[in-house]
Amino acid sequence: MIHIGKIATLLEDILAQKDYSKILVLVDEHIEANCLPLLFSKDSLIHFELIKIPSGEEHKTLDTCQLIWDQFNQHHVDRNAVLINLGGGVICDMGGFAASTYKRGIDFINIPTTILAMVDASYGGKTGINFNGIKNNIGVFKNAIETIIHPVFLQTLPFRELRSGWAEIIKHGLIADRDYFARIEPITELTKITEAAWTEIIRTSIQIKSSIVDQDPEEKGIRKILNFGHTIGHAIESASLKTDQPLLHGEAIAIGMLLEIELSVEHNHFSLEESRRIAKYIKHILKIFARIIGILIQTIGKIF
C-alpha cells in the first residue's frame, strides 16, 4: 500500500500492526545527515538498528549487498524482522533486493526521499542491483509491505536531483495521460513548486504507474510502456558510470526518451510537430545538452 502524508505517524501505525523482532533502517551518508532526523526525532519511541552504505549508483552492486547481509547477520536478524529503506532509487532497489533474498525474504518498507523514488522506484515490486556493468541485471519482483511518501524530503535535495526525478514525471504524462503532461508542461521552475503542488504531482504519477503495474505486475505485457526512455537510457547510464562524469538516472532517461521519440517519428508513429514540442520542453527543463555533450563523447569513447 502507498501512503502520502506525515511519515512519522504513519510509520508508527504500520510498525504497531506487527510484532517485529527487529527494525533496521538502511541509509547512505547523505540520507543519514539530511533525512534520518526528519523521520526519527529524539523523542521517537521506535528503536532501530542503522545500516549505512556508500551513496551512488556505482555502489548498487553485489559487494554492497554483501555488506547489508553481513550487517543483518551481525544484528542477528531473523525472518520476523523488517527493513526500512530510507533513500532514493538506489536504496529502495537494493534494500528491497537484500531484504527479499535474506533468509528467503523479510518484510521491507520503502520511504523514498527523492522525486525519482517517490514517483517510480519505491513501488511496483522491482528490486535489484547492477552486475558486471549492466543496469539492474540481477533482481526479483517483490513488493514493499508499505511505501510512505512525503514531499518534505524534497527540501534536502540538490537541484540536479530534482531535475533528474522530473524526467520520470514527464515520462508518465507522455505514456499515459496527455492532460497530465499538459498540466506539467508550463512548469519550468522546479524550486518554486509548493509542497501541495508536489503532493498532487506525486499522487497523479503514482496513480498512472499503479494502474499499469496492477494490470501486469511482472512486466509481461503492458507494463513495458513504463520502460519508455529506459532501453536506450540505461545503456547510456551504464556506460557513463565508467567515465569521470556519470549521469544521473533521470538525465540518461531524458536522453533515452528524446532518442526513442526520434525513432517513433522515423517509423511514422509520432508526429514531427509533437516531437519538437516535447523535445524543446525536455531540453529546457533538464538543461541537459550543453552540459552533457562532453559526457556523451566520453561515454561513446568507452563503448567503442
Helix/strand/coil (H, E, C) string of the chain?
A: CEEECCHHHHHHHHHHCCCCCCEEEEEEHHHHHHCHHHHCCCCCCCCCEEEEECCCHHHCCHHHHHHHHHHHHHCCCCCCCEEEEEECHHHHHHHHHHHHHHHHCCEEEEEECCHHHHHHHCCCCEEEEEECCEEEEEEEECCCCEEEECHHHHHHCCHHHHHHHHHHHHHHHHHHCHHHHHHHCCCCCHHHCCHHHHHHHHHHHHHHHHHHHHHCCCCCCHHHHHHCCHHHHHHHHHHHCCCCCCCCHHHHHHHHHHHHHHHHHHCCCCCHHHHHHHHHHHHHHHCCHHHHHHHHHHHHHHHC
Q: Which domain holds residue 15?
A: 2-153
Of the listed ranges 105-114, 207-216, 265-274, 281-290, the one predicted with least confidence: 281-290
Do 231 and 292 fall into the same domain?
yes
pLDDT average, residue stretch 106-133: 94
Do 170 and 297 fall into the same domain?
yes
Q: Which of 106, 133, 153 is the last residue of a domain?
A: 153
Q: What is the pLDDT of residues 119-130, one digit of tens each?
A: 998 999 999 999
Residue predicted with more confidence, 30 or 287: 30
pLDDT average, residue stretch 263-285: 88
Do 61 and 175 fall into the same domain?
no
pLDDT average, residue stretch 254-275: 89
Query: For a pLDDT cut of 90, what percent of the chain falls above it?
Result: 70
pLDDT average, residue stretch 276-297: 71
Average pLDDT, the chain: 90
- Active-site residue numbers? 104, 126, 168, 209, 219, 223, 227, 230, 234, 249
Residue 136 has pLDDT above 50, yes or no: yes
Residue 60 has pLDDT above 80, yes or no: yes
CATH number at residue 276: 1.20.1090.10
Do 141 and 9 fall into the same domain?
yes
How confident is residue 292, by pLDDT bands cut at 50, 70 and 90?
low
Residue 107 has pLDDT above 80, yes or no: yes
pLDDT average, residue stretch 1-20: 87
Do 250 and 163 fall into the same domain?
yes
d(CA 304, CA 300): 6
Q: What is the pLDDT of residues 181-197, one digit of tens each?
A: 999 999 989 999 999 99
Residue 261 has pLDDT above 80, yes or no: yes
Do 223 and 92 fall into the same domain?
no
Please tell me the predicted confidence (pLDDT) of residue 297: 47
How confident is residue 54, by pLDDT bands cut at 50, 70 and 90?
very high
Please tell me the predicted confidence (pLDDT) of residue 303: 46
Please tell me the predicted confidence (pLDDT) of residue 245: 79
Q: What is the pLDDT of residues 160-173, one digit of tens each?
A: 899 999 999 999 99
Residue 284 has pLDDT above 60, yes or no: yes
Do 121 and 237 fall into the same domain?
no
CATH number at residue 131: 3.40.50.1970
Please tell me the predicted confidence (pLDDT) of residue 290: 47
Q: Which residue, chain included where needed, has cell 531473523?
A: 78
Q: Which of 121, 153, 185 is the last residue of a domain?
A: 153
Q: Which of 104, 136, 153 is the last residue of a domain?
A: 153
Do 171 and 90 fall into the same domain?
no
Residue predicted with more confidence, 244 or 158: 158
Residue 41 has pLDDT above 80, yes or no: no
Please tell me the predicted confidence (pLDDT) of residue 288: 59
Do 73 and 203 fall into the same domain?
no
Q: How many domains does the chain have?
A: 2
Do 198 and 135 fall into the same domain?
no
Do 189 and 274 fall into the same domain?
yes
Please tell me the predicted confidence (pLDDT) of residue 125: 94
Do 36 and 131 fall into the same domain?
yes
